[in-house]
Chains A and B, each alone.
Chain A
Amino acid sequence: GDSVTQMEGPVTLSEEACLTINCTYTATGYPSLFWYVQYPGEGLQLLLKATKADDKGSNKGFEATYRKETTSFHLEKGSVQVSDSAVYFCALRENSGGYQKVTFGIGTKLQVIP
Chain B
Amino acid sequence: GAGVSQSPSNKVTEKGKDVELRCDPISGHTALYWYRQSLGQGLEFLIYFQGNSAPDKSGLPSDRFSAERTGGSVSTLTIQRTQQEDSAVYLCASSPQFGAPQETQYFGPGTRLLVL
Which A residues contact B (CB, under 8 angstroms)?
A: 31-32, 34, 36, 42-46, 49, 51, 89, 93-95, 97-107
Interface residue range, chain B: 20 to 34
Interface string of B94-116 (1 = CB under 8 A from A): 01001111111111111000000
| CB within 8 Å for A107 and B43 given contacts A43-B107, A100-B99 | yes
Bound: A97/B38 CA distance, A: 28
* Residues in chain B near residue A102, CB distance under 8 A: 33, 45, 105
Q: In the complex the two chains form, is B101's CB within 8 Å of A104's CB?
A: no
Return 26 A-B CB contacts under 8 Å, by A number. A31-B101, A32-B101, A34-B104, A43-B91, A43-B109, A44-B43, A46-B105, A46-B106, A89-B42, A89-B43, A93-B101, A93-B102, A93-B103, A94-B101, A95-B99, A95-B101, A98-B55, A100-B98, A100-B101, A100-B103, A101-B45, A102-B33, A104-B45, A106-B42, A107-B42, A107-B43
B62 CB–A CB distance under 8 Å: no
Bound: A106/B36 CA distance, A: 12
Q: How far is the CB of A21 from chain B (nearest CB, A)?
A: 14
Q: In the complex the two chains form, is B102's CB within 8 Å of A104's CB?
A: no
Q: In the complex the two chains form, is A45's CB within 8 Å of B33's CB?
A: no
Q: In the complex the two chains form, is A99's CB within 8 Å of B48's CB?
A: yes
Q: How far is the CB of A54 from chain B (nearest CB, A)?
A: 15
Bound: A102/B34 CA distance, A: 11
Q: In the complex the two chains form, is B103's CB within 8 Å of A45's CB?
A: no
Which B residues contact A (CB, under 8 angstroms)?
A: 31, 33, 35, 41-43, 45, 48, 50, 55-56, 91, 93, 95, 98-110
* Residues in chain B near residue A44, CB distance under 8 A: 43, 91, 93, 107
* Residues in chain A near residue B35, CB distance under 8 A: 104
Q: In the complex the two chains form, is A32's CB within 8 Å of B102's CB?
A: yes
* Residues in chain B near residue A89, CB distance under 8 A: 42-43
